[in-house]
Amino acid sequence: MMTKTTTSSALALTLAAVFASLLIASLEMLTRERASASKAAAELRYLGQVLDMDNQPAAFTFVSLPIDNRYLEVLGLGEAAQMHIALRNGEPYAAIVPSVSNTGYGGAIKLLVGIDFSARITAVRIVSHRETKGLGDKIESQQSDWIDSFKRRSLNNPKPSGWAIKADGGIYDQFTGATITPRAVVRQVAATLEVFAAARLTWLADSAPRESLDVEP
């Protein structure tokens, strides 16, 4: 009798443990899915702003491409990531490249950099950061128009020495009492332009509509 009771409570305990771990596993999966869905939503929200769409979003479609491993380090991306090509009326118009600075004051600063295929920046947006409110957060488009100073810039405009904040001899403003944050963003935008210069032809080819391979009989 005693043995039977012990066996059945052991069984009940085991079942409860299995049930609990299944519950935890499925909750974890749900949370992870939500997190990646909200990350995707945050990126999507910025795509339009990065493109300078001239109020005609309907003209744009997007192709997503994996970023070649050799660019991940320069882009500050620790893991495999995708970039997007915006097609305007079916033609490649701009690359939208995720890029992360790890030299900010408060941690990673995640950017989205739009670059058209003549190698000029369409716009840059900050997707997330942990810089200090009232100091480093002027990089946000909601806080100041500083981030618009990248619009229409390219690797040769300004010349390479100009790709720095004014305190370092460049053309970009720093903020009062905060040079670390803007310096980090300027460097990362320049690094992203360099990756674009190296990858441009591949990205163009990979996003162009495929030629039909049908052969006349």
Which residues of the shown chain bind ligand FMN in the complex (CB under 6 A)?
A: 105-106, 131-132, 135-136, 177-181
- Which of 49/179 has CB closer to ligand FMN? 179
Secondary structure (DSSP) of the chain: -HHHHHHHHHHHHHHHHHHHHHHHHHHHHHHHHHHHHHHHHHHHHHHHHHHT-TT-GGGEEEEEEEPPHHHHTTTT-SS--EEEEEEETTEEEEEEEEEEES-SSSS-EEEEEEEETTS-EEEEEEEE--PPTTTGGGGSTTT-SGGGGGTT-BTTBS-GGGSSBGGGTSSB--BTTB-HHHHHHHHHHHHHHHHHHHHHHHHHHHHSPPPP-----
- Which of 132/154 has CB closer to ligand FMN? 132
Tell me if 181 sits within 8 A of 131, measured CB to CB: yes
Q: How far is the CB of 158 from ligand FMN (least distance, A)?
A: 21
Question: What's the burial of 93, exposed, middle or buried (CB within 10 Å: 0-12/13-18/19+)?
Answer: buried
- Which of 181/192 has CB closer to ligand FMN? 181
- Which of 89/144 has CB closer to ligand FMN? 144
Q: How far is the CB of 95 from ligand FMN (least distance, A)?
A: 28
Q: How far is the CB of 24 from ligand FMN (least distance, A)?
A: 37
Q: How far is the CB of 153 from ligand FMN (least distance, A)?
A: 21
- Which of 66/134 has CB closer to ligand FMN? 134
Tell me if 83 sits within 8 A of 98, measured CB to CB: yes
Q: How far is the CB of 187 from ligand FMN (least distance, A)?
A: 13
- Which of 101/207 has CB closer to ligand FMN? 101
Q: How far is the CB of 185 from ligand FMN (least distance, A)?
A: 10
